[in-house]
Amino acid sequence: MTSPAVGVDHLVLVTATVEETLDFYERVLGAEVRDRHAWREGVVEYPVLHFGSFKFNVHPIDTPASPRAAVPVAGTLDVALRWSGDVASAERHLRSHHVEILLGPVTQEGAEGNARSVYFRDLDGALIELICYASDGASEDAQREPTRPGQ
């Protein structure tokens, strides 16, 4: 029996600060914000951040949306987003937006093999990884040893 194909369609991002979160993901990661006005007017329960082939539903921490996580807490997301360039361009991009890099560049094992990553936090403290594969434009940088705190 063949297993069904599974892929990411959407994630739910729980936040304490919806407007600031929408601005952060739009400004720093280029998300397309959908339903912002409808959410403000109470027409929909939450706004949406689109990233091409997937999306984040942005739930205010006190949303009545159902079903939802058993214990929804802002800042508990830990996700790796694929960056289309090399890790140096991801690092430059984050710094240009005054985003503190917590770790990296480091070598990581991603869904498609070895890659280089940088890590940062959003406004609620969620951990975001930008992962960069050599096939996406990474240079010889992808072959260097990992850099971790304390090394």
Active site residues: 129
Q: Helix %, strand %, coil % for the chain, to 5?
A: 25, 30, 45
End-to-end Cα separation, the chain, in angstroms: 47
E-strand spans in 2-124? Answer: 10-15, 32-34, 48-51, 54-60, 78-82, 103-110, 113-121
Q: How many CA atoms lie within 13 A of 63 on its CB side?
A: 28
The neighbour count for residue 40, using CB atoms within 10 Å, is 12
The neighbour count for residue 112, using CB atoms within 10 Å, is 12
